[in-house]
Amino acid sequence: MAERTNPFAFLQQVRAETAKVVWPSRRETMISTVMVLVMAALASIFFLLADLAISYGVSFLVGVGSS
Protein backbone atom coordinates (compact mmCIF):
# COMPACT_ATOMS: atom_id res chain seq x y z
CA MET A 1 0.00 0.00 0.00
CA ALA A 2 1.18 3.53 -0.72
CA GLU A 3 2.79 5.59 1.99
CA ARG A 4 0.70 8.53 3.18
CA THR A 5 2.25 11.99 3.09
CA ASN A 6 1.11 14.81 5.28
CA PRO A 7 -0.75 17.72 3.65
CA PHE A 8 2.10 20.18 4.22
CA ALA A 9 4.60 17.96 2.38
CA PHE A 10 2.08 17.42 -0.40
CA LEU A 11 1.63 21.17 -0.89
CA GLN A 12 5.41 21.64 -1.00
CA GLN A 13 5.65 18.97 -3.70
CA VAL A 14 2.83 20.61 -5.65
CA ARG A 15 4.60 24.00 -5.51
CA ALA A 16 7.87 22.41 -6.64
CA GLU A 17 6.18 20.74 -9.61
CA THR A 18 4.25 23.84 -10.68
CA ALA A 19 7.51 25.80 -10.62
CA LYS A 20 8.76 23.46 -13.38
CA VAL A 21 5.82 24.21 -15.69
CA VAL A 22 6.71 26.24 -18.78
CA TRP A 23 3.66 28.03 -20.13
CA PRO A 24 3.44 28.87 -23.83
CA SER A 25 3.86 32.48 -24.87
CA ARG A 26 0.94 34.56 -26.11
CA ARG A 27 2.21 34.19 -29.69
CA GLU A 28 2.45 30.39 -29.43
CA THR A 29 -1.06 30.25 -27.99
CA MET A 30 -2.46 32.37 -30.82
CA ILE A 31 -0.70 30.32 -33.51
CA SER A 32 -1.97 27.07 -31.98
CA THR A 33 -5.50 28.45 -31.74
CA VAL A 34 -5.50 29.55 -35.38
CA MET A 35 -4.13 26.16 -36.46
CA VAL A 36 -6.89 24.34 -34.56
CA LEU A 37 -9.58 26.56 -36.11
CA VAL A 38 -8.19 26.07 -39.64
CA MET A 39 -7.97 22.30 -39.21
CA ALA A 40 -11.52 22.18 -37.82
CA ALA A 41 -12.78 24.16 -40.83
CA LEU A 42 -10.93 21.88 -43.27
CA ALA A 43 -12.26 18.77 -41.53
CA SER A 44 -15.83 20.10 -41.63
CA ILE A 45 -15.54 20.87 -45.35
CA PHE A 46 -14.09 17.41 -46.01
CA PHE A 47 -16.90 15.67 -44.13
CA LEU A 48 -19.51 17.84 -45.83
CA LEU A 49 -18.16 16.82 -49.25
CA ALA A 50 -17.89 13.16 -48.20
CA ASP A 51 -21.47 13.22 -46.90
CA LEU A 52 -22.74 14.79 -50.12
CA ALA A 53 -20.88 12.22 -52.24
CA ILE A 54 -22.17 9.28 -50.21
CA SER A 55 -25.69 10.73 -50.23
CA TYR A 56 -25.58 11.16 -53.99
CA GLY A 57 -24.16 7.66 -54.49
CA VAL A 58 -26.78 5.97 -52.32
CA SER A 59 -29.66 7.85 -53.90
CA PHE A 60 -28.29 6.95 -57.36
CA LEU A 61 -28.02 3.26 -56.48
CA VAL A 62 -31.38 3.01 -54.74
CA GLY A 63 -33.19 5.28 -57.17
CA VAL A 64 -34.87 7.34 -54.47
CA GLY A 65 -36.39 10.54 -55.72
CA SER A 66 -36.16 9.66 -59.39
CA SER A 67 -39.06 10.81 -61.54
Residue 66 has what pLDDT? 56
Please state, in angstroms and rounded to a whole number, the distance separating the CA atoms of residues 35 and 24. Answer: 15
Residue 33 has what pLDDT? 98
- The whole-model pTM stands at 0.63
In the DSSP assignment, the letter for residue 67 is -
Residue 30 has what pLDDT? 98
The values of phi and psi at residue 54, to 5°, are -65, -40
Please state, in angstroms and rounded to a whole number, the distance separating the CA atoms of residues 65 and 55. Answer: 12
pLDDT digits (tens, 9 = 90+) for 16-44: 999 999 989 999 999 999 999 999 999 99
Residue 65 has what pLDDT? 59
pLDDT digits (tens, 9 = 90+) for 43-62: 999 999 999 999 999 988 88
